[in-house]
Structure 1
Amino acid sequence: MNIVGISACTVGIAHTYIAQKKIELAAKKAGHSVKIETQGTIGIENELTEAEIAQADVVLIAADVNVSGEERFAGRKVVRVPTSIAVKSPNKLIEKLQEIVNG
Structure 2
Amino acid sequence: MKIVAVTACPTGVAHTYMAQEALEKECQKRGYEIQVETQGSMGIENELEQDVIDEADVVILAVAIRIDGEERFEEKMDNGKVLQIEPADAIKHPGEVLDRAEKL
Moved over 2 A (4+): none
In 2, the alpha carbon distance for the partners of 1:5 and 1:28 equals: 14
> Which residue does the alignment assign to 2:57?
57
Runs of 5+ unmatched residues, structure 2: none
Q: 1:92 aligns with which of 78, 86, 96?
A: 96
Q: Which residue identity lines up with residue 44 of structure 2 in the other structure?
A: I
| TM-score of the two chains, using structure 1 as the length reference | 0.94
Q: Supply the RMSD in Å over aligned alpha carbons.
A: 0.7
Q: Which residue identity lines up with residue 26 of structure 2 in the other structure?
A: A
Please give the secondary structure, in 2, of the residue aligned with 1:75: helix
Matches within 5 A, 1:11-22: 11-22=11-22
In 2, the alpha carbon distance for the partners of 1:55 and 1:28 equals: 19
| TM-score of the two chains, using structure 2 as the length reference | 0.93
Q: Percent of aligned positions with the same letter in both sequences? A: 41
